Structures are given as C-alpha cells and as structure tokens.
Amino acid sequence: MKKITIIGSGFAALTAIRKLRKQDKAVEITLIAPCAEFHYLPGMIWIPAGLRKREDLIVPLMPFFERMNVQFFAASVIGLSEDGRVVETSEGEVRNDGLIIASGGQFIKKLPGIEHAITPCEGLDAAERIRDRLAELQGGTIAIGFAGNPNEPSAMRGGPMFEFLFGIDTLLRKQGRRERFKLVFFSPAAKPGNRLGEKAVKGLLDEMKKRDIETQLGYKMKGFEANKVSTEGAEFAADLILFMPGMTGNAWFNASTLPRSEGGLLKAGRNCKVEGFDCVYVAGDSGSYPGPDWMPKQAHMADLQAEVAAKNLAGEFAGEIPDAEFKVELMCIVDSVNKGMLVTRSEKNNLMLPNLRLFHWAKRALEVWYLKQYR
C-alpha cells in the first residue's frame, strides 16, 4: 500500500484528501498539522461587524479524517530529508512514498515597526483584535493597506484588505459614527488591485472615492510607528493600522533541499510537481508556479492546484506521466458587510459586476456549502 503524506490543514490539504480518496480508496494518507482544525479565513472579514464569531469559522477535522480514513499526526514540520521521503517534525519522522506540501506561506515581517500593525490574514486572533480595537476607538484615523513580495509578484493577498476597508466603513456608518473617523488606504502599488483587472481597479478606486476614503498610493513603504505610517511619499498619523505584507515560504523550507523561487516559495510546474523531485507536489500558497503575473494566492486557486497535485501523484504511482495542469482562474467577491462586487478573471476573460446585496448573500451561501464538506 502506498503511503502519502500531506503537510497542512487548509484549503489545498483538505481538497487533496478528497481528490485522493476518489481516485484510490486503499492508499494510506497521513496529514501533518499542529492541530486537527480547519480555519475558514475568508469569513474572518465579518468578525469586526459581529456577523461571525471564532467558533463559526473553526471546523474540527477528526470526524472528516475518520470518514476519509486519514491518519492525523499532530506536529509542526521542521524539515525534509531523503529527497522528500522523510518529513521531519517536532514529534519525530514521518515516512512516505508520495508527498503533497500544502502548508501555506508566511508573511514578510521586515518593515521597521511592523509590530504596530495588525496583519488580518494571520488568523482569527487578528480579526478579533481588529473587532476589539474598533469598539475601543471613539474616533481618529484608520489606515489600511498592503504590499507585495518584490521578488515574487504573485505572492501577495490584497483582496481581504479591500474587504476590511469597505466593511469597516459600512460598520461605522451603521453605528452612526463614521464622521468621527478618517479612513486611509495605502499601498506601494499605483494601481492597487491591478491583478483583478483594469475594470476592478477603477471600480475599487471609485468605491473609495464614493465612501470618502483617502488614498496614499505609489510610494514605497518605509515603516510604522505606534501611531504613524511612513512611506517615501508621505507620513500620516494612524490610530489603528491594518497591513498585509507580501508572502514568502515557510521557515522549514530552509531545512530541505527543495528548489526555491527568488521570492522564497517552492518552484513547481503547472502540474504542481516540485522541480527535480519524484512524487513531491505542492499546492496553494507554498508554491511558485508558471503563469500570468496576476495569478492569485486565494482559496479557489489552492483548490484547483490541489486537485491537480493529487491526480498527478496518483498517476506517478501508476507509472504515468504527471501531465495534468491546473487552470489559472481568479474568482472573488469583494464584500462590504452588506453588499459585494463580483470579480472573475481567466486567461481569456475578465469580468467585474457592481456592488450588489446579491453577491454578499452569495458569499455567505458559499461559506455554508464549502464548510458542509468538512463538518
């Protein structure tokens, strides 16, 4: 019986399990993660407004693992050896015949004073900190922005920051205290959201103008202080700072011989196979893949990559050429608590639909449907 190890417990990891089980009921699957939980991070944008609580977005995974006949190994990965056949962890070694790395990325925390900013996508704790700080503030300036990895254009996650920006504006208006606050959106990008397409950039900037949100765009970041944001073009006071830096690879990658991109991610082909390694695949934010410069780091893309990784790994076991390739596709709803803008992009088309209540409810319905697979 072939033994497959999956590292991670996020979107890509769980999708890989479902795909593998459809292809082979007998294969032995071991998943390595610190805890047997799935955190549905797309829903954390609603925590500040009270539409979601922590417990709404955490799914205990042991029942799913039992249904899928998956062995759970509670540990943190610290390295890799024997060309990927041995995963080294805080709790000992785990051997495999095939490996899928779906451990996500980590945020680059090199800017001076970045400890003064909250990084939302670090998890539910961050979303709760935002909720609590908003409740404490009686007025002032809220600064929200993001940057990328200069060596890896695709290693960034800006979409949630637009959602926090518009969601906080909506919340403050509902509370009747928007006039006490100044909202500032900042980014080194002159056209923030450019990866969503030209129409989306215009739509997002128009929405900011409509909501009386100031912008500081096109200036390289210098750093933060407790109550200040500094760029090469301006400095401005801020009572609350939300900032999403660019992404890079996990620290444990350094304790392996896996090939790395300039941005620190694992180099792989469109078939998700890690370059130069047999039966080693990567899916989701951990990987650097060939494709257009707008290729997103988002849950939908991670799912598409995980399906391909699982299919090709099973094919490689059977002596086949791992030639399945993932489709590059961006799909998102930029939510603002009560409405949402739908944006889709493929290598052939780009679509943006205006702010509608329908899309907010569609995003909520998608969450229910997605989590039902694992509850």
Give tens-digit pLDDT for 51-84: 999 999 999 999 999 999 999 999 999 999 999 9
Distance CA 103, CA 108 (A): 16
DSSP β-ladder status, 3-7 and 77-81: unpaired
DSSP β-ladder status, 3-7 and 28-33: parallel
Please spell the DSSP secondary structure of 292-309, one letter per residue. Answer: -TT---SHHHHHHHHHHH
pLDDT at 324: 97
Q: Is residue 366 part of a domain?
A: no
Alpha carbon distances (Å) from 177 to 131, 141, 169, 243: 15, 13, 10, 23
* 219 plus 131 within the same structural domain: yes
Distance CA 195, CA 155 (A): 12
Alpha carbon distances (Å) from 102 to 11, 150, 246, 329: 8, 23, 18, 19
* 261 plus 198 within the same structural domain: no
Q: What is the pLDDT of residues 249-294, one digit of tens each?
A: 999 999 999 999 999 999 999 999 999 999 999 999 999 999 998 8
pLDDT at 15: 98
pLDDT at 155: 87
Q: Is residue 257 part of a domain?
A: yes
Q: Is residue 27 part of a domain?
A: yes
Q: Is 352 left (phi over 0), alpha (psi -120 to 50) or beta?
A: beta
Strand partners, 208: none
Instruction: Report whether 222 contacts 251 (CB < 8 A).
Output: no
Taking the CB of residue 88, how many other CB atoms lie within 10 A of it? Answer: 18
* 267 plus 279 within the same structural domain: yes
Rg (CA), the chain: 21
Q: What is the pLDDT of residues 93-142, one digit of tens each?
A: 999 999 999 999 999 999 999 999 999 989 999 999 999 999 999 999 99
* 241 plus 272 within the same structural domain: no
* 99 plus 12 within the same structural domain: yes
Taking the CB of residue 157, how many other CB atoms lie within 10 A of it? Answer: 22
* 58 plus 134 within the same structural domain: no
Q: Is residue 323 part of a domain?
A: no
* 149 plus 201 within the same structural domain: yes
pLDDT at 153: 79
Burial annotation 165-181 (CB, 10 A radius, 16+ → b, else e): bbbbbbbbeeeeebeeb
* 34 plus 56 within the same structural domain: yes
User: Structurally, how many domains does the chain consist of?
Assistant: 2
Distance CA 130, CA 256 (A): 36
- Domain closes at, from 219, 246, 273: 246
pLDDT at 290: 95
Q: Please, which residues have CB within 8 angstroms of residue 327's CB and are 6 or more apart in sequence? A: 304, 346
Q: Is residue 178 part of a domain?
A: yes
Q: What is the pLDDT of residues 156-201, one digit of tens each?
A: 888 999 999 999 999 999 999 999 999 999 999 999 888 888 888 9
Q: Is residue 166 part of a domain?
A: yes
pLDDT at 154 exceeding the cut of 90: no
* 118 plus 7 within the same structural domain: no
Owning domain of residue 133: 108-246
- CATH code for the domain of 216: 3.50.50.60
Distance CA 225, CA 230 (A): 8
Backbone angles phi, psi at 306, to 5 degrees: -65, -40
- Domain closes at, from 221, 246, 271: 246
Cα torsion 233, 121, 134, 131 to 10°: value is 180
Helix locations, 137-269, DSSP H:
159-174, 198-210
Q: How far apart are the first and last CA of the chain?
A: 28
Q: Is residue 337 part of a domain?
A: no
Q: What is the pLDDT of residues 295-337, one digit of tens each?
A: 999 999 999 999 999 999 999 999 999 999 999 999 999 999 9
